[in-house]
Structure 1
Amino acid sequence: MRVHLIAACGVGMSALAGLLREGGHTVTGSDENVYPPASTLLAELGIPVSPGYDPARLDGVELVVCGNAVTRTNAEAEAARVRGLRMTSMPAALEEMFLAGRSPLVIAGTHGKTTSTAMLAWVLARAGRDPGFLIGGVPRDLGRSFAVGSGRWFVIEGDEYDSAYFDKEPKFLHYRPAAVLLTAVEFDHADIYRDLDHVKSAFRKLLGILRPDAALVACGDFPHLLDVVGSRGARLFGLEERNDWRVTELEDDGATRFTIREGGRAVCRVTLQLPGAINARNALGVLLLAVEAGVGWEEAAAALAEFRGVRRRQEVVAEARGVTVIDDFAHHPTAIAGTLAALRARYPGRRLRAVFEPRSNTSRRRVFQEAFIDALAGADEAVLAAVYSKAADPIPPEERLLPERIIDALERRGVPSRLVDGVAAIRDYLVGSARPGD
């Protein structure tokens, strides 16, 4: 089949393109901006992706897949409707073409789902299960964010974002879950969710399509998640005492080490290359779901000891002259605070400088104004960029995040902070003020 992807350079869309190519289909794509890493991946796969939108690219196409950034007025989307071409969303295409006859393991939640999805795919691959997978990031060990696989399991990052302009339901409702790992529930995606109750309703819908006898592994550290789970049976895990399965005896000596306990019983000792309690908690959820999939505790833990993480998730990108540079995707206050705590544990005694660009659709809004102050207070210095401007999502001034107020509040708390506008200016400031131990 000849398939054309509109907005092909999104993380999920580029992974779908790879699955389609691996499945033997002819694939083309377009995007407003063709950019790496997606453009590099697609080029390596021999998938042509053109900048801009041109209806002529639909000639001979049998199926059109629209990314969720595509609007009704997109030139190619309009032309597809006029021509009567079959159109679908990314998650619907995944469901139709790759999930039939498989057992999808869906990893969903506000935080940790990309890392957890990559962990689970890696564990199943190392255990010889040859899983299919689709991950919203690039795992360092698996090499690519997708695989068709030949085994029973298909591991999917279940995103709560909407599917397409013609399908406003969350993506994860398309994924036919055989089991769910729910990592967290908090408010996010302020551009499409009205409030926390709206977010919780989306996750309730996900649990509503999970068979009553199917496994639900859920992190009990998040009160709103517990509210979503309600009286449904779930294997609760986390750091806190109320959980059935807990991370205990957590330490970092250059690796993260901890003991998993069920009640008072020690089940397994785990070592991770990734830092911090946030990743220990991710690993525990993954191990519980891996055991549900038939992998033994010790075999799964041994695979996780090899796991090197996902690009842009606490990724060490450079080390020079005593300075370590780490790239991280965290954009929610809870994730920022967890990342800073993890790095503080991994690099004790070193100056921790946090550089934050309000770029996501939620972080650009004022909804987390105060929470960002608390999160960034975990650093020794905070550098904030100006709020990123998106023509497709203009924010009224009265709703826009105010970085200047965050800086003022951090300064009052004794955290040196400054606003630096532009990547080049931030680079120059950091290079000019760096010292060994940063």
Structure 2
Amino acid sequence: MSIQDLPTLVDFRDQLTALAAAEARGGAEAPARARRGRRRRGFAPRLVFVALGAVLLAAGVAAAAIVGLRATVVPGPSPEDVAPQEIVVAASARVLGVRAQDPGDGSVWALRSARTRDGEVCLTVGQARGGDFGLVGLDGKFRLLAPELADGCGIRVGGDALTLSGARTFAAAKRSDVRTVVYGLGAKLRGVTLRVGATTRKVPVTRDGAYAVALAGYPEDRPVHVALRYADGHTGTLDYGSNRRLVTSPGGLPALRLDGGIVDSARHTPCLEVTAARHVPGAGSGPTACGPDSRPWGTVRAVRPGHGRWGRFPARTLAWGSWPRGHTKLGAVTVRSPAGTVRARILGERHTFLAVLPARVNPRDVTVTLTPERGAPVTFHTTLNLRPDPMTH
């Protein structure tokens, strides 16, 4: 879901962009080194959150950066921006009985339902304060959400199925204050069990089949699994934050991914950059490693906050690299260190890999074994077949 699909968030985005630009002018430094080429991104993955087929419409993860608006009410979309049949009927809006306690500040999250002129069911995530439904902005002020404002709409279905489900993420000035609200609505929904990491808990379901739970952080950092039970006894599942292009770190640390690219002047030297799964203030970016496109290559490096472009991300030891395309794909990547043996995550089309190790692990003590689906394995210590980055040499 794009922010353009939610017109009222455009105002939020514009104000956030202005704030970011002001911050950049005050403290950001332009790169000092000269660029000798233009990096073309070959496979920069896009973060996607998927709901199962039983769900007619998944609201997805729309990061809503709520900034200080002057108005007391956050308005709905302009009628000219919405197809006539998709306009929400304001008089149909009602706050459902579901309530979710915030894991940090004690505020209460809620759901509001409404319908469109064509009879679609709509849901909106907000906060309940007394008898009001709204959101607290980054300035700490509570503002009402106009009844015409909806996060997503779907067709009401018969039988045992969800009408709507989603995971809505709300940004914050500090990463520790980010919230993700997982929610759903189904007339015959009777039980919901939520699992985040090793923690499992039951989530209350209202009589009309609605549920909501507020979680700290971004879902890709701590993927969410939802198990559903319906009136006739059958079950279903939903997953949020899981993605085969991402690597989730132990302990709920920020998730990482690999961005790949080539330079026009060195087409046979692909490069891989370890970067944050979600680019937000303070997110880590880098380091970059490059190698030949005809042979396997890889590296093991330690990263620390405040060094290079790692930002405020926690210290870690990383192992990553690539298997040549056009050959057999990777079957497994085993990373051995004094901290134990782990399997690296094989990403994308099974030609790249990334493993996250504890910061205490010295890269010189790490052994990486690349095992293709067919053929002999390749083992290396610290580095294998690296080439200089064409962008800096």
Higher relative contact order (CA 8 A, sep 6+): 2
Return the index of the structure with the highest Cα Rg: 2
TM-score calculated relative to the size of structure 1: 0.27
**Greater share of residues in strand:** 2
TM-score calculated relative to the size of structure 2: 0.29
